[in-house]
Structure 1
Amino acid sequence: MEEPAYSSYSQWYSEGNLASYLRSMKSSGGMLNMLEAEPPAGDNSGPAVPDLVLAEDVFGGSRVSGNLGGGRFNVTSEKGALYLAAPNFARTNIVENSHRIRVLSFPVAQWQMTLDEVGNGRFSFDMPHIYDGMFHSQTIRSALRNLWALCSEEGAPSRLLARAAGLEVLAELCRIGGAPLASAKGGLAPWAQRRCLELMHAQLSEDISLDELAAEARLSPFHFARMFKHSLGVPPRAYLTRLRIEKACELLEDTDLPVTDIAQEVGYSSNQVLARVFLKHQGVSPSDYRRAVRDPLRVFVL
């Protein structure tokens, strides 16, 4: 093991020798870092960083060899193939062709307690077999696809989205690594559900976190996320989006606030972000929705 020369994987990628190949990077307050890059053929090795690094090969088709912390491997990468690099390990990575990758990096300090809980205390960063090269997981691929799609709509991931996506991915990594997942529980107690929904309503315009909601219910984030979905039928992030769209509809119907102000009121960074989310869920733009509810006969005639 080597002492990390960079504070994070994203810092190394944005400042190191591969910086010019970085296409995009998003971060959620140091909790979860996302990047997409198109590195060239050749040596893409990197120094030790204090992050657990998960990479997806978007297109596949290239010969890949190296050591990510679990010993040497040499494979022909496949579309959607996943690779996991150990924290605090100077990884080697040699590729035959230029390629596109999507990467999630998890600062270990932010996620150690979560992994201990998810894996019933039996997940260890020192299990070499979880870093031994290419693997596949439809669960992780689906989580990554959803995460990138949501960030395309909303920008940098909210704290709620980042923690929820991270929990989903890490739970699957625990399962793949052989650590037994913590047993599922039922839904939220009525008092806990009521208090969490009240908090969501009260902080609709803020970047509320899964940790804050879980603390309100006196649960860990991992158990809270699963129990919330059991009780409400959707994850906390999806429920919060529903509340925001409902509030936006109310403001569009009952006030003359500009759409930009309404976006701020319901927790979106701009009217463009609100427009994308609103169109996805309502099928029309906020302005068209306002016109329709204010003058339905005129819209019908048109």
Structure 2
Amino acid sequence: MPANVSLSQWFRQGEQASYVRATKSPGQIVGMLEVARPAGDTPLPPLSDLILFQDQLGGSRVSGNSGGGHFNVISEQGAFFLGAPNFAHSIHVERNHLLRSLAFPLSNWQTVLDEASEGQLSVERLSLYKGFFHSPTIRSAFKNLWVLADEEGAPSRLLVRAAGCEILAEICRLSGAPFAPVNGGLAPWAQRRCVEMMRVRLSEDISLDELAAEAKLSPFHFARMFKQSVGVPPRVYLTQLRMEKACELLRLTELSMNEIALEVGYSSGQVLARTFIKYQRRSPSEYRRLVRV
């Protein structure tokens, strides 16, 4: 197998493709798959990704080695398994199973892992490779990513990068890395510049890396400090700004739903409507009628 093959690439090859039920891979930041596989051996060749699997069914005996030595467990619904990069996994599952996976290409995420563990853990030394584990933090972040992929088609680069930072930080914490709380938020000048950047570029798929560079911070530290300063993660704040602008355009213009969607960074009126209903508890059309009475 060629070097640097990702999980998504491997599953698109040969008989593996028939097991894939959903693919949600925004660019090359992460890869997300849903895979339904029969009972039996489910080996994985050495891949270039750090892979997080979530068991959607539970109740099956799972045994093998995913990078941390042999394990033999009864999985639980919603439990996570972590697979080491560049390691030939040998896994046996006794029942048909349904998995969702989140794959992190190390080329994009090594710096985040180093910062989250303060340089004290290598990817080979993570303790979560042996059996399953639970994490409410990871479950929430992964669920949000998946839901937003359903709603928006491809989650924004900002969301994906921020969620990835949160998940990898929790993986490092659970593996025993020192994890200090955030000491203070953004400097006032950095907060002002980043918020203004979001406002000016509402229609664009702005990235966490771009915002972090504006604040002269790494993406990992920026995401944590922004939340400390503003009270919500950058992606949530950007969505709030987009909803404010959408309300303004619905109130003051005759633009169509598709035109408003493009103005505020969504691919279609349908995507705008799903997000608008979640935040405003009414559709854009209903909102427009109410504010124009």
The question of a shared fold, defined as TM-score above 0.5 by the shorter chain, is answered with yes
Q: How many residues align?
A: 293
Deviation digits for residues 54-88 of structure 1 (CA, Å, limit 9, x no counterpart): 00101201111111011111111111111111101
- Given the alignment, which residue of 38, 43, 67 partners 2:65? 67
**Counterpart residue number, 2:216:** 218
- Given the alignment, which residue of 79, 83, 86 partners 2:84? 86
Question: Percent of pairs identical after alignment?
Answer: 62
CA distance in 1, matches of 2:19, 2:111: 34
Cα separation, partners in 2 of 1:32 and 1:86, compared to 1, 3 Å: same
Letter in 1 for 2:273: A
Q: Aligned with 1:103: secondary structure?
A: strand
CA distance in 2, matches of 1:119, 1:82: 20
- Name structure 2 gaps, 5 residues minimum: none
Letter in 2 for 1:47: P
**Pairwise mapping of residues 87-236 of structure 1 onto structure 2 (< 5 A)?**
87-127=85-125, 129-236=127-234
CA distance in 2, matches of 1:158, 1:50: 23
**Counterpart residue number, 1:57:** 55
**Pairwise mapping of residues 231-246 of structure 1 onto structure 2 (< 5 A)?**
231-246=229-244
**Counterpart residue number, 1:22:** 20
CA distance in 1, matches of 2:126, 2:167: 18
Contact 2:58/2:76, CA 8 A, preserved across alignment: yes
Q: Aligned with 2:37: secondary structure?
A: coil
Letter in 2 for 1:237: R
Letter in 1 for 2:121: F
CA drift at 1:129: 3.2
Q: Aligned with 2:88: secondary structure?
A: coil
Contact 1:69/1:128, CA 8 A, preserved across alignment: no
Deviation digits for residues 152-199 of structure 1 (CA, Å, limit 9, x no counterpart): 222212110111110111001101111112552211111111100110
- Name structure 1 gaps, 5 residues minimum: 297-302
Contact 1:71/1:128, CA 8 A, preserved across alignment: no
Cα separation, partners in 2 of 1:189 and 1:148, compared to 1, 3 Å: same
Contact 1:5/1:47, CA 8 A, preserved across alignment: no
Deviation digits for residues 125-158 of structure 1 (CA, Å, limit 9, x no counterpart): 1216331121222221122122222222222121
Contact 1:43/1:94, CA 8 A, preserved across alignment: yes
Letter in 2 for 1:205: S
CA distance in 2, matches of 1:267, 1:208: 9
Deviation digits for residues 86-108 of structure 1 (CA, Å, limit 9, x no counterpart): 10111112111111111000000
Which 4+ residue blocks in structure 1 deviate beyond 4 angstroms? 3-6
CA distance in 1, matches of 2:182, 2:10: 38
Contact 2:126/2:172, CA 8 A, preserved across alignment: no
CA distance in 1, matches of 2:168, 2:124: 15
Superposed CA RMSD: 1.4
TM-score (structure 2 length as normaliser): 0.96
Q: Aligned with 1:100: secondary structure?
A: strand
CA distance in 2, matches of 1:4, 1:103: 21
Letter in 1 for 2:44: G
Contact 2:182/2:228, CA 8 A, preserved across alignment: no
Q: Aligned with 1:38: secondary structure?
A: strand
CA distance in 2, matches of 1:17, 1:73: 27
CA drift at 1:17: 2.6
**Counterpart residue number, 2:250:** 252
CA distance in 2, matches of 1:153, 1:255: 26
CA distance in 2, matches of 1:114, 1:59: 31
